[in-house]
Chains A and B, each alone.
Chain A
Amino acid sequence: MSHVTKGESVLEIAKSVRSKERKASEVIEAHLTQIESRDQELNAFNLVTRERAMQAARDIDERVANGQEVGPLAGVPVAVKDNLCTTGVDTTCSSRILEGWKPPYDATVVDRIAAAGAVMIGKTNLDEFAMGSSTENSAFGVTHNPHDTSRVSGGSSGGSAAAVAAGFAPIAFGSDTGGSIRQPASFCGVVGIKPTYGLVSRYGLIAFASSLDQVGPLGATVADAAAMLEAIAGHDPRDSTSLPQDAPNLTATMNDGVKGLRVGLVQELSGEGVAPDVAAALQRAADVLQENGAIVSEVSVPAVKFGVTAYYLIAPAEASSNLARFDGVRYGLRKDAENVFEMYDATREQGFGAEVKRRIMLGTYALSAGYYDAYYGKAQRVRTLITRDFATAYESCDVLLSPTAPTTAFKVGEKTSDPLAMYLNDVCTIPTNLAGHPAMSVPFGKDSNNMPIGVQILGPNLSEATLVRAGAVLEANQ
């Protein structure tokens, strides 16, 4: 129903700001105006940081006027998922339990994007603590899909995906634990990259499941997402799981094409349960790659069928521990009570939403005495199986191809009553997180309801440049 603005590329915006063709303050003002005119309808933002953004833009303009360096993304608006810490700016994880909390520090990625010249325009909505696939589990309301507001934007980075799709910002931060960047990117028709685990710092990302979480970009185009990833990637000594690795150069080889690239269609992720329109788009994507010189074959990754099960034991287990600290003692919500333990019980009962409680319960159970070996321990072994099966597939393939999600965006409220059905929607994205590999979602056509379809390109560790190359070919030929 609604008109979706496709902005110009971020590198074009930055170039024009650096060359004084236009001012950063004009760019930012235009995007803020766009948000103010339409976000009531979408609810992509939890908070729009207008004053701060305009001040940052004016600073950039002053630096440009003084001939100072302003960075590769100078004046580019960026939307920040509200689970990334921002100094002095409310950071809520879309949860009541963090209401009013202002972090005393910036996430490393927030620092880096600012150092590259980008300007934060606001904090975007998400499923509470990133737990969900529809941004319906937010304490601050649903984020609607810009392509059809009766549908969800996906999740958990639904606010960021909707913001990019609506033209509120050409790039946005997401975080991806089991598909939370790629699936909303797919639902909203934008590009999303889940980087290799450890390529992007997690410092300042409020943890959901630490061994799976990874921050990454959502962009209007492959080039935008790639430019953003270049700006935020690279080693961070504050994150022990950060790879000793510089940021990759993605844009330099982005247009090198896919000639000779070995592409595997993952059988286990492209059959049963995949909507016909999605399956057709996937086949067309494979054809496009082949037409451009890639060698496409079918490949089996048997263990991925256990991915959802393993994920829904491991992620809640880690979450149950990560979310213990929200206890009403040091920050955020407190519900007073007679003694400290009753205070904990009341604060957490009232501060967390249903899905968060459900996962804390599931994870606590999976870790508890007598069940650890059967559930958490076993899931960690399945994780090894999945990584092994991927490794085998990558002996014969450079990248793999699958749908990002089995369906396009579903209706608001359609799956909220059945958690298991919602979880199964993550089947295509989850295996990547378990293996630690990178993957990206690229928009590729639309279904019969005119809703965007996303194709997922998967690769082995640190294959981001290859994914971007393949993504650029699909983008140019959809």
Chain B
Amino acid sequence: MNAVETKTEWETVIGLEIHTELRTQTKLFCGCENNFGAEPNRNVCAVCLGLPGSLPVLNEHAVELAMRIGTALNCTIAPSVMSRKNYFYPDMPKDYQVSQYDLPINLDGSLALPDGSVVGIERAHLEEDTGKNTHVGGGGRIQNADYSLIDYNRAGIPLVEIVSRPDMRSAEQAKAYVSEVRAILVAIGASDGKMEEGSLRVDANVSVRRPGEPFGTRCEIKNVNSIRSLGRAIDYETRRQIELIEGGDSVQQQTRHWNEGEGRTHFGRIKSDADDYRYFPEPDLVPVVPDEAWKTRVANEMPMLPAARRDRLFEISPETHFDTVATVVDAGLDQLVLDVVKAGADARLAINRTANELVNDADAASAVGASTLAQTFQMETDGKLTATQAKTVLGELMALRGGDPQAIADKHGFEPVDTDALAKTVNEIVDAHPDELERLKGGEQKLMGFFVGKIMAATQGKADGKAVQALLRERL
């Protein structure tokens, strides 16, 4: 961010295109399995290979997931038509892609981000994915390859492309937008949200301008495989464009590829208005015209969205950090937390422990159950377990997918440390190290760790870290 912040006279303008594969059983137009990681060309049939004479039939569930996405993004769900986008490329079995063009299923939506800003959604349309080319020889790079191999397993997988308006002004905002969209897609069962596996792909249209001026020429950044990379790529691209303009050059409309290792974007190809895809309505498919009853049913089947779910946690624990709450919600453990709190546990403790100790295995956490977790948290609140001890107990409960926290604590010999005895120990250790005490008083904070370590060792780790620190501060 630093390089960008020093050029305060420049404003970055960002619009994002998010492609998400839909979590259906089958492809968009045929009954082939939609799964990741099958052997090449094992999930293919006449339709998705584009064999002569084959015809597409639209997957109802894919349409409904697209409608859910539109509903979640406050779009108008409209009568839609599939079109053909015509161009030749070996990963496209028909040499056209079936996509929605002038009549997409979802139009004109918006998404509120946690910081309160709102990003406009231009459209969210259905289309089919392409196959996958592998370049053989020349180090696997397209330019130097000897030849290429094609796997059509991915061809015809349903995609929804969510096109934002160019409403974002910083990498941070763009990252927050993608995080929020991803959380929504996962929450409504539309996507697994895995950017690493390519089931969620983000292209960023980035331009710069001086505030108040018209939009500058944009570049489309591709190959961004994580939210962190997205932020880095936008910052890099912003600097590149500013340097170009300040150096007297102009930005050319082009696609550029993010290289994570090198931390820079590379030229892809010139994008121009001469790209002539010869779109026309796909004659092999008929329009999808959702009536009110269908739209209402889809809306009624919508689960609660992440923002509302986060709000439920903030309601019971207003002080908790946003990321902690988001972590719990994204892991799908927010309802469990609410149940745990209802069973008597402290809300803030329950959220923090869930975010730190339970999110990696949500299934196990659910198996352990609300009442057992509530009991464990209560033991910590009551001082029967230190934080460290509580984490140990939680770890065992998770591993065993249940159990009796008291029995686990007993087995480990966890018992509350006598406060007076602890104060005595603290005083003894502090008195034994006067030099270190002076340095700590002088502001050398790392010596806090030195004292805590000594005291924990003296109590065989049974002391509560917080209590130790409180006692130490009393001596300063």
Contact = CB atoms under 8 A, between A and B. Distances in A.
A/B touching: CB–CB < 8 A: yes
Interface of A: 84-85, 91, 93, 98, 101, 103-105, 107, 202-207, 209-211, 237-241, 317-318, 320-321, 324-327, 329-331, 340-341, 344, 364, 367-369, 372, 376
B84 interface: yes
Contact of A321 (B274, B278, B285): B278
Contact of B276 (A91, A107, A321, A369): A369
Contacts, number: 99
Interface string B30-67: 00000000000000001001111111111000000000
B93 A318 contact: no
Nearest to B88: A344
Interface string B82-104: 00101010100111100000000
Contact of A204 (B50, B53, B94, B286): B53
Given A91-B52, A98-B52, A324-B94, A240 B57 contact: yes
A177 to B, nearest CB: 12
A327 B88 contact: yes
A157 B396 CA distance: 76
Contact of B280 (A104, A237, A376): A376
Given A240-B286, A368-B276, A376-B280, A329 B90 contact: yes
6 contacts: A203-B54, A203-B55, A207-B284, A239-B55, A368-B278, A369-B273
Contacts of B93: 325, 330
B25 interface: no
A325 B94 contact: yes
B148 A321 contact: no
B442 interface: no
Interface string B274-298: 1010111001111000000000000
Given A204-B54, A321-B96, A340-B90, 11 more contacts: A85-B53, A103-B52, A205-B53, A239-B57, A240-B285, A321-B86, A324-B94, A325-B94, A331-B51, A341-B88, A367-B280
Interface residues of B, number: 31
A324 B95 contact: yes
A275 B168 CA distance: 70
Contacts of A105: 46, 51, 53
Contacts of A321: 84, 86, 96, 278, 280
Contact of B86 (A91, A107, A324, A330): A324
A104 B286 contact: no
A104 B96 contact: no
Contact of A238 (B55, B90, B148): B55
Nearest to B91: A329
Most buried by A among B50, B53, B93: B53
B88 to A, nearest CB: 6
Top 6 A-B pairs, shortest CB-CB distance: A324-B95, A211-B283, A367-B278, A210-B283, A204-B53, A206-B52
A237 B55 contact: no
Contacts of B94: 324-325
Contacts of B57: 237-240
A358 B219 CA distance: 38
Nearest to B274: A369
Contacts of B276: 368-369
Most buried by A among B54, B84, B148: B54
A368 B274 CA distance: 10
Most buried by A among B52, B55, B86, B273: B52
A85 B47 CA distance: 13
Contacts of A376: 280
Contacts of B148: 340
B150 interface: yes
B88 A318 contact: no
B53 A206 contact: yes
